[in-house]
Amino acid sequence: MENSFVIGVDFGTDSVRSLVVNTRTGEEAGSAVHLYSRWQKGLYCDPSVQQYRQHPLDYLEGLEKSIKGALAQCPPGTAALVKGISVDTTGSTPGPVDETGTPLALLPGFENNPNAMFVLWKDHTANTEAALINEVAHANSTDYTKYCGGIYSSEWFWAKILHVIQEDAAIREKAVSWVEHCDWVPAVLTGNKSLGTLLRSRCAAGHKAMWHESWNGLPPKDFLEKLNPLLGKYDQTYKDTVEATIPAGTISSEWAERLGLPADVVIGTGAFDAHMGAVGGGIRSYSLCKVIGTSTCDILVAPMEEAGHLFVKGICGQVDGSVIPGMLGLEAGQSAYGDVFAWLRRLIMGPLYTLLPEETDKLAQVEGKLLGHLSQQAQQLPLRDNDPLALDWFNGRRTPDANHTLKSTITGLHLGIDAAEMFKALVEATAFGAQHIAERFVQEGVPINEVIALGGVAKKSAYAMQVLADVMNRPIKIVNSENACALGAAMFAAVAAGVYKDIAAAQEAMSSGFETVWHPRAENVPYYAKRYARFKELGAFTEKLYV
């Protein structure tokens, strides 16, 4: 096979990364990251009410700059050998669009309206609307939540739409449809200006929009109007969905010129970051792939003939082909993981920035070393039954059993507790939350043959991964690539462009392998088993406070 290249584009919470990959060897030829400029300034967000919005211009600027930056790192002539581009994004991150599929924030009069922008995955302004969806769905003759774990989340498509259109009449009137971020970017790259031909991701629609073949697509108009008559406007705005191996088309002349790429580059359809990341991480049947960043997404795939009949309660959906065509994709996750440690860092460092503004540079250096220092201290601490115990619900609970009104509880505090002991409690909390998810899968009849971890926390925090292995009492395999989500997107680009016939072949040729495996320490497993039982008791007690 002659050398050819594909580009995987990974839109994260804070930035976008583009990765140029050799399709024959899997070598990462070039990589570049662009931080969203408006997001970095905190624009259009209000953390006090958990409102997180992103401007489409951040995405467009990041798309161009990151791809150009990645190509600039490659040997001369690489751009001419690029065969395909695929993207992954966070999700559910929908935005309102007009009849051409243009996000309203790009139209005159809507440029600074947060409701005209993409509603980021971690926006929880729609908690009330999610509760309404669950109430109506569970009383309906057909429960449209049954393929998404039986509990609809405020992080998902319909809850966010319902919240925005009830709050903002201008958006309600102008929006013709709502489009997931992962569907919009391929439309941009192919120059698609028609909602009728804009392809919708099976991954996004199945996991977040209650799309399913058994009821012919999206929930019908009569159900949506039970939630609010205003939603009837968006009934069946699309019916069919596509797996991420399907091409969206070829690159438009405008974007080919802007990026310096050939006119025949194939643009793949999009999917969510964790799902493509799991493919980049080497997922296979009954692997549990943990994509660990600010939050986690836990992805598992199983043969349809073995698991297609199951209804796994309390997860983020089970969708035929959402990860790998022909396989059942199951998603779960924690609403906060890296964000939990970032909270502790802010708690410690925040007042110092205020008190010592002239020392900002020095403080930033200290902040960059803080979590590593706490990790070193925490791993030296003795394991005691009365150590502080925390829940990982700092951003609500995603799974099992979504409830984003929940808050964390920390017990066992006294005047002798220091920052390292607090850090230990938070690391354990994230591990206990991960075990709760794995336990639910097994209880519901889905075995777990191996655990794979990828992402920044997985690669950088040896202490957190060792505790995770001890708590789960399973080996944790750490993916070698630092860019597994973008690498997964590149694999899908290779299939969409016809370089490989299917995902299995792309994985075989392009996977990065594993850099290490964390094995559980037998002497620590009983301690963590006791602590995990107490974690569940604390969760049950805390949940009663929020009923």
Q: Read off the CATH number of the domain in which 107 is found.
A: 3.30.420.40
Cα Rg of the chain (Å, integer)? 23
Residues 420 and 493 in one domain: no
Residues 376 and 456 in one domain: yes
Mind giving me the DSSP string for 28-62? EEEEEEEE-HHHHTTTT-BGGGTB-EE-HHHHHHH
pTM passes above 0.75? yes
Domain membership flag for residue 493: yes
Q: What share of the chain is helix, strand, coil (3-state, %, to 5)?
A: 45, 20, 35
Integer Cα distance of 8 and 18 in angstroms: 6
Residues 39 and 180 in one domain: yes
Residues 428 and 487 in one domain: no
Domain membership flag for residue 415: yes
Tokens of 479: 């993916």
Determine which helix (DSSP H) or strand (DSSP E) holds 411, and give its type and residue range: strand 410-411
Domain membership flag for residue 26: yes
Tokens of 108: 């005159």
Residues 492 and 473 in one domain: no
16 forms beta bridges with: 11, 34
Domain that includes residue 540, residue range: 338-479+515-545
Residues 347 and 385 in one domain: yes
* Nearest residue to 458 (alpha-carbon basis) of 477, 433, 440, 473: 477
**Beta-carbon-side half-sphere exposure of residue 163 (alpha carbons within 13 Å):** 24
How would you list the strands of the sheet with 287-292, edge to edge?
318-320, 327-334, 296-303, 287-292, 450-454, 476-479, 514-518
- Listed in sequence order, the residues at least 6 apart from 437 whose beta carbon sits closer than 8 Å to its beta carbon are 298, 315, 332, 333, 334, 399, 400
pLDDT at 547: 67
Domain membership flag for residue 315: no
Q: Considering its fold, how many domains does the chain have in total?
A: 2
pLDDT at 204: 97
pLDDT at 352: 97
Residues 147 and 240 in one domain: yes
Domain membership flag for residue 304: no
Q: One digit per residue, pLDDT tens: the chain, 547 residues?
A: 578 999 999 999 999 999 999 999 999 999 999 999 999 999 999 999 999 999 999 999 999 999 999 999 999 999 999 999 999 999 899 999 999 999 999 999 999 999 999 999 999 999 999 999 999 999 999 999 999 889 999 999 999 999 999 999 999 999 999 999 999 999 999 999 999 999 999 999 999 999 999 999 999 999 999 999 999 888 777 889 999 999 999 999 999 999 999 999 999 999 999 999 999 999 999 999 999 988 899 999 999 999 988 889 999 899 999 999 999 999 999 999 999 999 999 999 999 999 999 999 999 999 999 999 999 999 999 999 999 999 999 999 999 998 988 999 999 999 999 999 999 999 999 999 999 999 999 999 999 999 999 988 899 999 999 999 999 999 999 999 999 999 999 999 999 999 999 999 999 999 999 999 999 999 999 999 999 999 999 999 999 987 6
Domain membership flag for residue 263: yes
pLDDT at 1: 56
Residues 158 and 250 in one domain: yes
At how many degrees (to 10) do helices 525-545 and 462-472 cross? 90
Residues 466 and 454 in one domain: yes
Domain membership flag for residue 276: yes
Residues 102 and 214 in one domain: yes
Sign of CA dihedral 240, 245, 250, 254: positive
At how many degrees (to 10) do helices 360-378 and 338-355 cross? 140
Residues 502 and 442 in one domain: no
Residues 92 and 240 in one domain: yes
pLDDT at 308: 87
- Listed in sequence order, the residues at least 6 apart from 349 whose beta carbon sits closer than 8 Å to its beta carbon are 363, 366, 367, 370
